[in-house]
Chains A and B, each alone.
Chain A
Amino acid sequence: QITLRESGPTLVKPTQTLTLTCTFSGFSLSTSGEGVGWVRQAPGKAPEWLALIYWNDDKRYRPSMKNRLTISKDTSRNQVVLTLTNMDPVDTGTYYCTHEGRFKVGMNMVRGLLVDSYYYSMDVWGKGTTVTVSS
C-alpha cells in the first residue's frame, strides 16, 4: 500500500523560503519508473501542479514558477523535498505530495526491441499540509 505524508511549517512570512518534506512508503524512488510530485490548492480553488521528480533524477517544474521551485530526493530516507522561495500571500494553500502511478498502455518498438509503453499520472495523494503566508 502506497502512502505519502507531507510535513513542514504551517506559517511562513512573505519573502521567506518554504521547505516541505514528503515521506513515503510502499515504493522506492530507486525503482525504475517511480516518481513523486507536488500539487497545491488555494482555498476554494482547483489543484495546481508544481513539480515532479523521477527515479532517475529527471525533474519537471511548473514553467511560471521554475525560478522559485526546487525538488530533490533522498532515496535512502524515502523522502522528497520541495523548496519554494520568495513566498507571497498568494502561495497560501494546501500542499500535496503525489505518487506517479504507472499504467501500461501498450508496446513500442525501441531499437528493434518490443518494450512496454506506460502512462504515468498521479494516482495516490497525501493528506496535504496547509501553509499560510502572512507577516
Chain B
Amino acid sequence: DIVMTQSPLSLPVTPGEPASISCRSSQSLLHRSGHNYLNWYLQKPGQSPQLLIYLGSNRASGVPDRFSGSGSGTDFTLKISRVEAEDVGVYYCMQALQTLITFGQGTRLEIK
C-alpha cells in the first residue's frame, strides 16, 4: 500500500495570509503518462469532501485560483495564497496511482 503522510496536522492561519500543506507518499506517484496521480480534497465542517486539485496541479471546476498544487514524485504541496474564512476544514491528499486508493491523515485548517 502507498502511505500518504501530511504535515502539519493542524494549521492555524490569519485571514488574508498564505497557507501551505505538505503531502509525501511512500512511493512515487508519477505515472508513465508523465502525470502525478495525486488529488487534494477539502472537507468542510459537516460536509463531504470536495475535489480541489487533481493530477497534482490541476484545479477542479469552480475552485478559486487562490488554491494551487505543485510537486512531483513523492513530494507535493497545496498552497492557499490568501486564506479566507470559508477555507476552514480538513484537507486531504489522496493517491490514485494504485487500485488501492489511499488518503493522507488530513490537515485541519482553522482561522486564528
Contact = CB atoms under 8 A, between A and B. Distances in A.
Interface residues of B, number: 26
Nearest to A62: B100
A125 B32 CA distance: 28
Contacts of B54: 101, 103, 119, 121, 123
B75 to A, nearest CB: 19
A46 B51 contact: no
A124 B55 CA distance: 16
> Dominant SS at the A interface?
strand
25 contacts: A46-B92, A46-B103, A46-B104, A47-B92, A47-B94, A48-B103, A49-B101, A49-B102, A62-B100, A96-B49, A101-B54, A103-B55, A105-B35, A106-B33, A117-B33, A119-B55, A119-B96, A121-B39, A121-B54, A121-B96, A122-B51, A122-B101, A125-B50, A127-B47, A127-B48
